[in-house]
Amino acid sequence: MTGLGTAKAKLKVYIENIPPLPQYQQLDSLTAMAPGEIKTIADLTGNHWRKIFNVYAKLWHQLHPDCAASWQQFRDETLLQAHGQQALLFSPPDFTANTGGNEHISIIMGRTYAAKIGIAEHCYWLSPDFAINETKKLIVSPYFDYRQLSNVKIEQLAGLIKNFAGKSR
């Protein structure tokens, strides 16, 4: 598993891209982010990565409104850090390696990426935007970008996640 965040993640988001900075191109494991690192990536790479982190923070805050005073505070102080419960993964999911009973929900970011890695055809498409695979606790969602995953769609995605979380109890 290669990406940013923590192994104890409750929400694992899979993305095809990697931040275009040398230290991330060399990653070969899951690495927790340091405070301020999200801002540094956004400052050095532009709006694309800022949007991804912002949408991830908005989604988590929608699911857990008491996690921080605002989604911005959550993004800056907790998202993808060692004490958080999220992961942004650059390697495709491996559902055969579900270890230790770690109850988590997986999100594939983007229909195109889901099709490319052979997952889209194993999902039930609820709409052109969202698909699920209940067995794998997997959701295919639009890419984490304001145009594709608007606030209304973030609410829809949060509802799908809550539905999965409710079924695992």
> Could you tell me the residue range of the domain that residue 87 belongs to?
3-167
Number of domains in the chain: 1
| Model pLDDT, residue 100 | 47
**Coil vs helix vs strand at 4:** strand
Closest CA to 53 of 29, 30, 32, 71: 71
pLDDT score at 166: 77
Low-confidence ranges of the chain (pLDDT < 50): 99-100, 169
